[in-house]
Chains A and B, each alone.
Chain A
Amino acid sequence: MNGKQRIRMLSVYLVLTTLAFMFLVPVVMMLLGSFKPDDQVLVQAGRLGSLLPAEFSWFNYQDVFARVPFARYLFNSAFISFCIVAGGLLVNSLAAYAFARLQWPGRDWVLLVVVALMIIPLEAIAVPLFYEVTLLGWRDTYWVQIIPFIANAFSIYLFYSFFLSLPRELEEAARIDGAGPWRIFFRIVAPNAKPVFATVAILSFLTQWGALLWPLMVTHSEAVRPLPLGIATFYSLPPLQWGDIFAFGVMMVTPVLLIFVLFQRWFVQGVATTGVKG
């Protein structure tokens, strides 16, 4: 490595380190702050040395459970996200397979509509959707937070483009071996599409875990409200205790990290073409 390259490398790393630092500081502050007694959280906030708590305490965590039904929020969020992710993986992958491989009249037009749907944000359809679920009498239930989000144009498109790249011969071989379309999908296509299943699972989980607007519109009882609404409520609940809020935040972020670590293994796993000479 000559001098010029070294300088370039150094400056690249300098930028990257600065960025990483900027992104990590709030997270670290939240984590460490959650272990501090409330009166120390904001003391000397400007100094790096004050980040570390003088003494570790679980008090804030206990306080969260005492002040709000955190377990309920957590269960609601987990249940809603799980249903959306699991249902979404099934429905969207099957739909995408039908677009990628089956022959049916109007297929390309319907696909075009699906692609077009990707650019419509929830905010644009929230009000008509609200009317619809009100008519159905679904407000303040789990279903109102799950059903509208299972079918997802972006997920379908992700699956669709992955299925197109799978070697067709695998499915043809399975057809000759006597497998029907369902078996081909579940025994051959799906096991070879783990990376895209993992990607879609992570992306839809992240979106749902942080969903605020829609639950705010359609729920009003604690029994069905998810975590983001919980933290919003908690935030506005006097007295304002930063330590408690940090503890709430840490508990809300941890499942996301766990899910990511869990699926990331498949995320990076090679594409399913090892059986095909390429």
Chain B
Amino acid sequence: MASVEFRDVSKHFGNATRAVKEFSLTIADGELVVLVGSSGCGKSTLLRLLAGLENASEGEILIAGKNVNQHTPQQRNVAMVFQNYALYPHMTVRANLEFPLRMSHTPKDRVAARVGEIADILQLSELMARKPGQLSGGQRQRVAMGRALVREPSVFLLDEPLSNLDTRLRARIRAEIAQIQKRLKTTTLYVTHDQVEAMTLGDRVVVLDHGESQQIGTPRELYEHPQNSFVAKFIGSPGMNILPSELIDRGDGRLVVKLGGQQISLVLERQAYEKLVPYSGQDIYTGIRPEAFASTPTEASVALKTNVEAVEFLGHETLACLFLPGAAQLHTDQPFFARLPGQFHKPNDGVAVFYIKPEALYFFNQAGRNILI
């Protein structure tokens, strides 16, 4: 077990592509950190850098406080689960599990004991004589986990380990991974493109975009206090709606945000007011979570008139795809979503009024930074 640290790590491939830019992160001993981002954002590269499969172009990587830049994967004592599992097809499950121990010249009785132990934990005992080709996706996944855990690595790396499984199995194995990680307390770096996986698994989550860290925080921090519009849009399903808007200072110590043709008056604390007021008279972006819409008014909520474009009934909830009227005046002609409980029917005239609380609004400047943070 060990802590992990990335210090201003960059990675370029050739001269043109910079896969990772000045990335810094500290992972505490026993912590599970999830790297999340869309494909090509550099998350797998970071994992491979830590594993020693790639060398950092700049910066330092430390495991247990020691610089491992020049160390081989074996010397780093990391273990990795690959997206396609990378089980050795010509070996049985037992031989697959034994392989890392044999490579480190572990005594035979110790190999047998350790493999038996891992097989018990992962319920693989029945499958030991089979070859990977004779296993189901879920079983292969467990063997891959077993092979990674068998030699008690100081760092455990998982590269999209659930992406080849169907939705139901994914939820189950996600829970299993969380459970095993809690039990073994192995420092873990987990890569995924799926924000649900990131939110449910991670002690902390790193959101990446174009090789740069956008925000590092607990799932709750990312959801409630996104540092920029990228994180706001990425976290949540669907993510936050970001609408072009205009901020107007009414002069009486109150601010109004203009969304399409409608105005929402903001009730703000002193601190928030002072942060927002320099942006008055400017175009900014307003963020509203799909969950923030209600179809009935509540205390201190304000009404927002919308055109309902489409309705998706999902059983326990309904997603409504909306437009703001008055779109012609401002560039608010992009659709956004409201997440509504139960059944919601599209009104005949297509116009619906929703209620939102002004404090549920987020504001981002032109560069996408959250103004209130």
- The residue in chain B whose Cβ has the minimal distance to the Cβ of A172 is B53
* Contact partner, B86, options A167, A179, A272, A278, Cβ 8 Å: A167
Known: A277-B137, A277-B164. A176 touches B88 (CB 8 A): no
Interface residues of B in 121-159 (CB under 8 A from A): 131-133, 137, 140, 147
B53 and A273 form a contact (CB under 8 A): no
Q: What's the minimum C-beta distance from A41 to chain B, rounded to whole angstroms?
A: 50
Q: Is the CB of B86 within 8 A of A178?
A: no
The residue on A at minimum CB distance from B134 is A274
- 8 Å CB interface, A169-200 against B: 169-170, 172-179, 183, 188, 191-192
In whole angstroms, what is the CA distance A170 to B90 when docked? 11
Indicate with 1 or 0, residue by residue over B70-85, a CB within 8 angstroms of chain A CB atoms. 0011100011101111
Q: Quick check: is B87 within 8 A (CB to CB) of the other chain?
A: yes
* Interface check A276, CB cutoff 8 A: yes
Q: How many whole Å from B298's CB to the nearest CB in chain A?
A: 48
The CA-CA distance from A131 to B328 in the complex, in Å, is 88
Query: Are A170 and B86 touching (Cβ within 8 A)?
Result: yes
Residues in B whose Cβ lies below 8 Å from that of A174: 88, 99
A275-B73 contact, Cβ under 8 Å, with A176-B53, A178-B103 = no
List of B residues within 8 angstroms of A176 by Cβ: 51-53, 73-74, 78-80
Among A179, A191, A277, the residue within 8 A (CB) of B85 is A277
Interface residues on chain B, number (Cβ under 8 Å): 29
Nearest Cβ in chain A — how far from B61, in angstroms?
A: 15
Chain A residues lying within 8 Å of B131, measured Cβ to Cβ, are 274-275
Residues of A within 8 A of B80 (CB): 172-173, 176
Specify which chain A residues have a CB less than 8 angstroms from the CB of B73 in the assembled complex.
175-176, 178
- List the B side residues contacting A173 at CB < 8 Å: 80, 82, 86-88, 147
Q: How far is the CA of A176 from the CA of B158 in the complex (A)?
A: 13
Inter-chain contacts of B103 with A (CB < 8 A) = 177-179, 183
Alpha-carbon gap, A124 to B347, bound state (A): 85
In the complex, the answer to whether A275 meets B87 with C-beta atoms within 8 Å is yes
**In the docked arrangement, what's the CA distance between A169 and B73, Å?**
14
Contact residue among B84, B100, B132, B140 (Cβ-Cβ distance under 8 Å from A178): B100
| Distance in Å: Cβ of A181 to nearest Cβ of chain B | 11
- Cα A84 to Cα B85 with chains together (Å): 38
Contacts of A172 in B (CB 8 A): 51, 53, 80, 82, 86
Residue ID in chain A nearest B133 by CB atoms? A274
Contact B53 A175 (CB under 8 A): yes
What's the Cα separation between A183 and B99 when bound, in Å? 11
Cβ-defined contact, A177 with B99, below 8 A: yes
CB distance from A114 to the nearest CB of B (A): 25
Task: Report chain A residues within 8 Å CB of B78.
Answer: 176
Cβ of B15 under 8 Å from chain A: no
Contacts of A179 in B (CB 8 A): 99, 103
Query: Does B348 make an interface contact (CB < 8 A)?
Result: no
Q: Which of A170, A172, A178 has the most CB of B within 10 A?
A: A178
Given that A172-B53, A177-B147, A178-B103 are contacting pairs, would A276 and B84 also be in contact in the complex, using a CB cutoff of 8 Å?
yes
CB contacts (< 8 Å) of A276 on chain B: these are: 84-87, 89
Bound together, the chains give a CA A277 to CA B140 distance in angstroms of: 9
Are B100 and A177 closer than 8 Å at their CB atoms?
Answer: yes
Which one of A169, A174, A275, A276 has the greatest number of beta carbons of chain B within 10 Å? A275
B79, B88, B132: residue with the most chain A Cβ atoms closer than 10 Å: B88
Assembly CA distance A10 to B53 (angstroms): 57
Q: Is B104 an interface residue (CB 8 A)?
A: yes
Contacting A at CB under 8 A, from B317-349, are none
Q: Give the nearest-CB partner of A273 in chain B.
A: B89
Are A192 and B90 interface neighbours, CB within 8 A?
yes
Question: Would you call A272 and B89 a contact (CB within 8 A)?
Answer: yes
Which A residue's beta carbon lies closest to that of B74? A178
CB-based nearest A residue for B137: A277
Contacts of A273 in B (CB 8 A): 89
Nearest CB of chain B from residue A87's CB, rounded to whole Å: 24
Residue of A167, A173, A272 most packed against chain B (CB within 10 A): A173
Cα distance A175–B78 when bound, in Å?
11
Across-interface contacts of A277 in B (CB, < 8 A)? 84-85, 137, 140, 164
Given contacts A175-B73, A175-B74, A274-B133, contact A191 B90 (CB under 8 A): yes
A167 touches B84 (CB 8 A): yes
Question: How would residues 187 to 208 of chain B score, 1 for a CB under 8 Å from any chain A CB and 0 otherwise?
Answer: 0000000000000000000000
Most buried by B among A167, A170, A192: A170
What is the distance, in angstroms, from A86's C-beta to the closest C-beta of chain B? 21
CA distance A129 to B189 in the complex (A): 59
In the complex, the 10 A-B pairs of residues with the closest C-beta atoms, listed nearest first: A274-B133, A275-B89, A178-B103, A275-B132, A169-B86, A275-B87, A177-B100, A178-B74, A173-B86, A191-B90
A selection of 11 A-B contacts at a CB cut-off of 8 Å is: A173-B147, A174-B99, A176-B74, A177-B74, A177-B100, A179-B103, A274-B89, A276-B86, A277-B84, A277-B140, A277-B164
Q: Other than A172-B86, A173-B86, give 12 A-B pairs with Cβ distance below 8 A.
A: A169-B84, A172-B51, A173-B147, A175-B72, A176-B51, A177-B147, A178-B103, A179-B103, A188-B88, A275-B140, A277-B85, A277-B140
Q: A-contacting residues of B (Cβ < 8 Å)? A: 51-53, 72-74, 78-80, 82-90, 99-100, 103-104, 131-133, 137, 140, 147, 164
Chain A residues at the B interface, C-beta cutoff of 8 Å: 167, 169-170, 172-179, 183, 188, 191-192, 272-278
